[in-house]
Amino acid sequence: MNHNEITMVAPCGINCGSCGAHLVKENTPGMDRLLAAGAKVENLPCPGCRAVQGKCPLIGSVCETYTCVTGKGFDFCYECPEFPCAKLNPAADRSNVLPHNTKVFSLCFIQRHGLAEFLAKEPEIKQRYYQGKMEIGKGPQLK
């Protein structure tokens, strides 16, 4: 796997490169929202969870998912025989503002199509998640 590609994609499948905590340098109006969510200004902009060994500025500690997957010697959760586990379970809580429900889909996409294709398609994946209208049997549709 290309080291440059993997740098900004977390082991859980979240693209740190498109996270507000990383982009805040380019989007200073987002700083207030990040600080309200618990981030500390000295930890922003975040260079990505791999660069800070999982110490996410939004949770203020090391991410348990990061610790789990890297402790087992894997780059991504999908490599683990326990995938998918409860750490990746979708939740309705804050689903309108956090990409946490996209993790399993993203990991399966990376596993099947590779990291480069995921990075190319990630904007569409996020758009379908945040703006798609669910059609039973079809998934989120963009109108």
**pLDDT at res. 96:** 85
Helix (H) or strand (E) holding 70: helix 64-71
CA distances from 3 to 11, 51, 100, 129 (A): 13, 12, 24, 27
Q: Where are the domains positioned within the chain? A: 3-130
pLDDT of residue 80 exceeding 90 = yes
CA diameter of the chain:
45
Give the span between the Cα atoms of 74 and 11, in whole angstroms. 8
State the average pLDDT over residues 84-113. Answer: 92
Residue 1 or residue 22, greater confidence:
22
- Tens of pLDDT along 7-36? 999 999 999 888 888 888 655 677 777 766
Give the span between the Cα atoms of 85 and 119, in whole angstroms. 23
Give the span between the Cα atoms of 110 and 114, in whole angstroms. 5
